C-alpha cells in the first residue's frame, strides 16, 4: 500500500477498513495515460470504492447516455481489477474479490432534461446519485456561484420525489444554500453532499455553512470532504487540513455524518486550463486556477491523522467508508 511511512497502527487500520471515496471526477479533461491508471493507483492507496462523475450540467440526455455507455465499457475493460457495482452488498462483494468497486454519478441534473422518467432509466444503468445544480442555475435550482439563489423550482421538487422513489441519492454538492436547504426539506430520503468542505474554515462558495451541515445530518445524510486547496483554506492541501474539516463536521453533528469526497483531479494542469475558459462556471476570483490537492496516495495519512487526534477505531472506519455504505444501503432500492 502507498503511504508506507505511516505508523504500523495506521497502516493496519487503513488496510482493514472499507475506504470509500464518493467523488472521482474522471471526465475532467486530461492526458489519457493519467486516466488509464487511476483505478490501479486508488487500489494501491487502499481505496475499496470510488464513485465516478459521468456527466455535469450542460450535458443533455444523449451526451450523458454516451458517457454512461463509454465508462461502463471503461470499467468492463478492467474487470480483473475493478467492478461496476449498484448495491451496498456489491461493494462488499467486490472488496472481498480484491477488486475496486466503481459507482456512477452525475454532477448536475441537466441530463434528465424535463423527463422524470429518465431518472429511473439512468438508475437502471447504474447512476446512483446526482447533485442538484453545478455552480450555475438550471431548471431545478441554483448553484453555489449564483448571486441570487431563488431556491428549488417546482420541477426540482418533482425530480426529488422521483429520485426518492427509485432510490437515487439526492446530492447537494456545488448547490446554492437556499436551493440546498429547500432540497433537504423536500426530500423524504437522506440527502448527501458528496464533496464539500466547511465554510467556517474556508470562506468559499463551494463550502457549506454550519446550518447546511446540521440540516444534512438531520436527514441521516453524510458530507464528503474534498482535498482541493481552494476549499481547504489556510494550510493548503495537507492531510492535517483535510482532517480539520472532518473534525469540524464531526464536532458539530457527529462523526457518523462525515466521509471522504476527495474530488481528485487526475490532471490538475489540464483542468486549470479548462476552467480558465469557463469564467461563468468557475469565477476566476474563486481561486480555481491555482489549486493544489491531496494525492490518492495520501489516503493512509488521513487515517494516521485521525488516530493522532484521538478518533476511535469505530469512528475512523465510519469516516473512511462505512458512513457512505450505511446511507447507500438505506437509500438505494
Query: Do 19 and 321 touch, CB atoms closer than 8 A?
Result: yes
Domain count, the chain: 1
Cα–Cα distance measured from residue 132 to residue 142, given in angstroms and rounded to the nearest whole number: 8
Using the Cα atoms of residue 271, residue 213, residue 253 and residue 92 in order, give the sign of their dihedral.
negative
CA atoms within 13 A on the CB side of 94: 28
Pairing verdict, β 127-131 and 100-107: parallel
pLDDT in tens, the chain (333 residues): 555 589 999 999 999 999 999 999 999 999 999 999 999 999 999 999 999 999 999 999 999 999 999 999 999 999 999 999 999 999 999 999 999 999 999 999 999 999 999 999 999 999 999 999 999 999 999 999 999 999 999 999 999 999 999 999 999 999 999 999 999 999 999 999 999 999 999 999 999 999 999 999 999 999 999 999 999 999 899 999 999 999 999 999 999 999 999 999 999 999 989 989 999 999 998 888 888 999 999 999 999 999 999 999 999 999 999 999 999 999 998
pLDDT of residue 163: 98
Please report, for the domain that includes residue 321, its CATH number.
Answer: 3.20.20.140
On whether residue 217 sits in a domain, the answer given is yes
1 within domain boundaries: no
Quick check: 253 and 214 in contact, CB under 8 A?
Answer: yes
For residue 156, give its domain range. 8-331
Query: What does the pLDDT read at residue 1?
Result: 52
**Please, are residues 98 and 75 in contact by the beta-carbon 8 Å criterion?**
no
Determine, yes or no, domain membership for 73: yes
pTM: 0.96
- Please report the sign of the dihedral spanned by the C-alpha atoms of residue 265, residue 269, residue 272, residue 274: negative
Does 202 reside within a domain? yes
pLDDT at 226: 98
Q: What pLDDT sits at residue 290?
A: 81
Kindly state whether residue 2 falls inside one of the protein's structural domains.
no
Asked whether residue 138 is domain-assigned, the answer is yes
DSSP for 108-138, written as a single string:
SSGGGTT-THHHHHHHHTTEEEEES-SSS--
Domain-located, residue 304: yes
Residue 155 located in a structural domain: yes
Amino acid at each position: 500500500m502507498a503511504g508506507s511511512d505511516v505508523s504500523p497502527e495506521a497502516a493496519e487500520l487503513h488496510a482493514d477498513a472499507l475506504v470509500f471515496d464518493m467523488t472521482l471526477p474522471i471526465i475532467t479533461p486530461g492526458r489519457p495515460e493519467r486516466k488509464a491508471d487511476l483505478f490501479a493507483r486508488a487500489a494501491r492507496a487502499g481505496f475499496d470504492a470510488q464513485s465516478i462523475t459521468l456527466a455535469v450540467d450542460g450535458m443533455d440526455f444523449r451526451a450523458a447516455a454516451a458517457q454512461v455507455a463509454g465508462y461502463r465499457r471503461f470499467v468492463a475493460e478492467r474487470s480483473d481489477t475493478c467492478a461496476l457495482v449498484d448495491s451496498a452488498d456489491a461493494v462488499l462483494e467486490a472488496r472481498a474479490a480484491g477488486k475496486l468497486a466503481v459507482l456512477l454519478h452525475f454532477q448536475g441534473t441537466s441530463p434528465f432534461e424535463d423527463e422524470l422518467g429518465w431518472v429511473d432509466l439512468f438508475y437502471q444503468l447504474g447512476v446512483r446519485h446526482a447533485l442538484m445544480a453545478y455552480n450555475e442555475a438550471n431548471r431545478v435550482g441554483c448553484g453555489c456561484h449564483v448571486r441570487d439563489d431563488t431556491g428549488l423550482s417546482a420541477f426540482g421538487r418533482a425530480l426529488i420525489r422521483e429520485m426518492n422513489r427509485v432510490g437515487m441519492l439526492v446530492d447537494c454538492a456545488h448547490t446554492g444554500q437556499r436551493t440546498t436547504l429547500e432540497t433537504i426539506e423536500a426530500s423524504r430520503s437522506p440527502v448527501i453532499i458528496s464533496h464539500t468542505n466547511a465554510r467556517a474554515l474556508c470562506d468559499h462558495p463551494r463550502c457549506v455553512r454550519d446550518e447546511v451541515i446540521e440540516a444534512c445530518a438531520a436527514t441521516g445524510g453524510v458530507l464528503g470532504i474534498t482535498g482541493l486547496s481552494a476549499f481547504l483554506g489556510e494550510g493548503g492541501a495537507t492531510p492535517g487540513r483535510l482532517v480539520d474539516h472532518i473534525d469540524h463536521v464531526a464536532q458539530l453533528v457527529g462523526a457518523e455524518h462525515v466521509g471522504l469526497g476527495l474530488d481528485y483531479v487526475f490532471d490538475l494542469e489540464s483542468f486549470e486550463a479548462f476552467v480558465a475558459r469557463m469564467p461563468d462556471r468557475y469565477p476566476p476570483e474563486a481561486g480555481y486556477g491555482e489549486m493544489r490537492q491531496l494525492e490518492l496516495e495520501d489516503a493512509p495519512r488521513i487515517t494516521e491523522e485521525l488516530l493522532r487526534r484521538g478518533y476511535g477505531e469505530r469512528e475512523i472506519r465510519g469516516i473512511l467508508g462505512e458512513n457512505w455504505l450505511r446511507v447507500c444501503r438505506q437509500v438505494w432500492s
